[in-house]
Each structure stands twice: as structure tokens, then as C-alpha cells.
A and B are shown apart, each in its own frame.
Chain A
Amino acid sequence: MGLVARAVEAAGIPTVTLSVVRSMTEATPAPRNVLVRFRLGQVMGEPGNVAQQQAVLRAALDAVPALAKPGGTIELPFRWRRETYPPPVGRP
């Protein structure tokens, strides 16, 4: 994942890369890394939990201007279900 993000970034398109495994991110960092303490296969959140998934997505996008150095990492504070996520936006 990190290698593809590097290739995209090197071509001039900014990237932000999510991760749930700190050791893999540290071994091969992407240009901008956002670590979330969720399960493998559910990095955005649990199925159908729109509020949680939107919160992760918004936090990842917010990290883009915040990460100024190549290979930098921001760890999200979310605690899976033990968290009050903002109500979903953009839903009919």
C-alpha cells in the first residue's frame, strides 16, 4: 500500500494512507500516514456504521494539510464502538 502511495505522490498527486498495523507503517511508511486502532479489514469502521466511517474519512482528509514531512504519521483517537461519532452528513 505504501509503495503505491509513494508512486502516486512522486507523480505529483498528494496521497493519504490509512493503516491499522503500526509496525508495517513504520517499516514502509507512505508519504502521509493515518493510523487507526481498528481491525484488519475494517479500517474505515464497522459495516453499516456510516457515522463512524465518515469520521475516519474526514479525519484522514484533515491529516493532509497537517502532515508536513514525508513519512509522517497521525494516530486517530477513535476507540471503535466506545466513541460518540458526529451524526452522518450528506444522507438523503
Chain B
Amino acid sequence: MSRWVNRLLSKVYTRVPALSERYGRRAGSFDDVPLPDLSVLRRPVHDARIAVVTAGGVHRAGQPPFDMQNPEGDGSWRSIPQDAPRQELVITHDYYDHTAADQDVNCVFPVDRLAELATAGMIGEPAPRHAGMMGHLSGAQLARLVDHSAGEIVSQFADDAVDLVLAVPG
């Protein structure tokens, strides 16, 4: 029942942007992680290895789906290889209307667009691995994201010598 309601609400929010703006104002600010100084881009964009972190609930079909029963969301994350077969990429996220991204995952996870820009010489290359998570977190699940998942995501990007990260919401 509650999943059905959440999915319906997500469609309403998608069609009425003013509601999303109102939600954003009510949600308040999150200062669990302070706004840091900007890091220096080590090489120009046309030479950079670029990773994506999406909050659109993207994961591989073989990975555990995000938990939609917990009203605080799911603060875990999934590592997604650049070369994962696209038909294996699925979305579990009841808090936004992902009908469009179900048809074309690049709407929230632009891995094919990165590969094309690399072919055209506009970026260096896509990172070998990206990160999928979900937005709309609160309470203990937001703390889980901040205290655990964020550090693991950072470690993956550091291990892969990523130069630049593109963060995309759902």
C-alpha cells in the first residue's frame, strides 16, 4: 500500500515542479558534511577520467535492490561498471517517477554519453566504475550514507584514479 502511494506521489511531483520546490524548502538543509574548499582539477576536462554518482536508484539486476520498505530510504550504494550490459541496469526507487529512465538509463546515469564524449575527444575516458545510490534519505539511513557509503564511494573513485565526478539526482 505505502509503496503504491509513494509511486503515485512521485508522479505528481514530477508533473508539478512547484511541489518539488516546496518540498526542497521544507526539507531544510543538511550540514552533516560541511561544504569543503574546492579541489583542483588535476588535468583538463578533455583529458580527465570521469565517474558518475547517481541518486536515481540505479543498480545491476544481480545486485540487491534498494530497500523500499524503510520510510527513511536506503543509505547503501552499488558499484556499477562502465561496461555493465545496459539491459542489466535497473532502477529501484519509489520516490521519483523513473518511467523515462527505465526507457533510457542515461536520463539519470549518463554513461553512454560519457563514452561518446570520450570517442569525440572531449573527455579523457569514463571511469571503469561508477556509483548508484538513492536520494530522499532521512534519519539513520542518511547517517548511513554519510558515515559509511560516502567513504566507500570515495575509496572506489580514488582507487580508480578518477579526476572528476559528475553527481546526478534522480
Contact = CB atoms under 8 A, between A and B. Distances in A.
For chain B, give the interface size range. Answer: 35 or more
Contact of A4 (B24, B101, B150): B150
Nearest to A45: B107
B117 A23 contact: no
A43 interface: yes
A43 B33 contact: no
Contacts of A27: 24-25, 27-30
Interface residues of A, number: 62
Interface in A18-52: 18-32, 39-48, 50
28 contacts: A2-B30, A4-B133, A4-B145, A4-B149, A4-B153, A8-B165, A8-B167, A13-B154, A14-B39, A21-B20, A21-B21, A23-B20, A23-B23, A23-B24, A23-B25, A40-B169, A43-B168, A47-B104, A47-B106, A48-B103, A56-B110, A57-B166, A58-B117, A58-B122, A64-B164, A65-B45, A89-B119, A89-B120
Given A4-B153, A8-B53, A16-B166, A41 B146 contact: no
